[in-house]
Amino acid sequence: MFKLDGHVALVTGSGQGIGLATALALAGQGADLAIVDIDAARTEAAAERVRAHGTQVLALTADVTDEGQVSQLFDRCIEKFGRLDILVNNVGGSGGSAIPLENTPLEVWDRVLTFNVRSAFLCTRAAIPHLKQQGGRVILLSSMAGTNRTIIGGVAYATAKAALLGFTRQLAHELGPARITVNAIAPGIIQSDRIEKAFAAHPTASREQVLTQIPLGRLGRVEDLAAAITYLCSDEASYVTGVTLEVNGGINFR
């Protein structure tokens, strides 16, 4: 089930965390991978782990908020594999925005919107001509912050993640005739070093207090998200587009 043999996927921010887990999951289903990260050492280490699945891997170091670098990384992907079937826009983050709006510097606002929204815009725009060749999949990484609110983030992060949901819906409408599906994943609170540091820095929220709000009683794992993304990338999800799949343990019912 969810077999992706013969498919090529490009996952941004796949040197660690959710991006790496997603790359491993897609490779586990037979996809060839373009690993993209801004840190060269991290990219190479991730590529080695993905190669263990026996699929072809291309390690690319790029800043996906830079238009020129984005253009070059897609050129290299096509040169290597000859096609692109899946784009996972994973790059993002809160970027130190967990402060009240009245105390938010303009540079923090701009940085968070750039990480999350500009990166998705540039990568998706560059991917579309290649995805149109045979149809394909675009996945956006939003957040519970975009569908509801953020407990440990801030208004810049919530705004950026909500923007990705509008991007998803409109692009699904636009690209449907080309047999390209566009969907978003909205994670809840995922267990990671970054989240633990955010808890430690937050004046009121604690890990234990948040756990009481999650019906499943635990934080999410990166593998939980990778499994959901793999489904949306598969042929089994060929009639699913424009949706936001919330993977949050029940903390946000809608």
Low-confidence ranges of the chain (pLDDT < 70): 193, 195-207, 254
Quick check: is 30 in a domain?
Answer: yes
> Would you put residue 100 in left (φ > 0), alpha (ψ -120 to 50) or beta?
beta
* Cβ pair 249, 51 in contact under 8 A: no
pLDDT at position 230 is 98
Quick check: is 1 in a domain?
Answer: no
Catalytic (active site) residue 239: no
Quick check: is 252 in a domain?
Answer: no
Q: What H or E segment, with its residue span, contains residue 11?
A: strand 8-12
* Cβ pair 145, 161 in contact under 8 A: yes
Task: Check 58, 157, 186, 251 and give the catalytic one.
Answer: 157
Quick check: is 253 in a domain?
Answer: no
> Would you put residue 153 in left (φ > 0), alpha (ψ -120 to 50) or beta?
beta
pLDDT at position 204 is 61
What is the count of structural domains for the chain?
1
- What's the rounded Cα separation, in Å, for the pair 111 and 12? 17
Amino acid at 118: R
Quick check: is 99 in a domain?
Answer: yes
Question: Domain residues for 196?
Answer: 8-246
CATH number of the domain encompassing residue 40: 3.40.50.720
pLDDT at position 91 is 97
Among 222, 244, 221, CA closest to 232: 244
Question: Which is it for strands 32-37 and 57-61: parallel, antiparallel or unpaired?
Answer: parallel
pLDDT at position 208 is 75
Quick check: is 222 in a domain?
Answer: yes
Among 90, 68, 74, 80, CA closest to 24: 90
pLDDT at position 213 is 85
Quick check: is 2 in a domain?
Answer: no
Instruction: Tell me the pTM.
Output: 0.94
- What's the rounded Cα separation, in Å, for the pair 96 and 157? 9
pLDDT at position 169 is 98
pLDDT at position 254 is 66
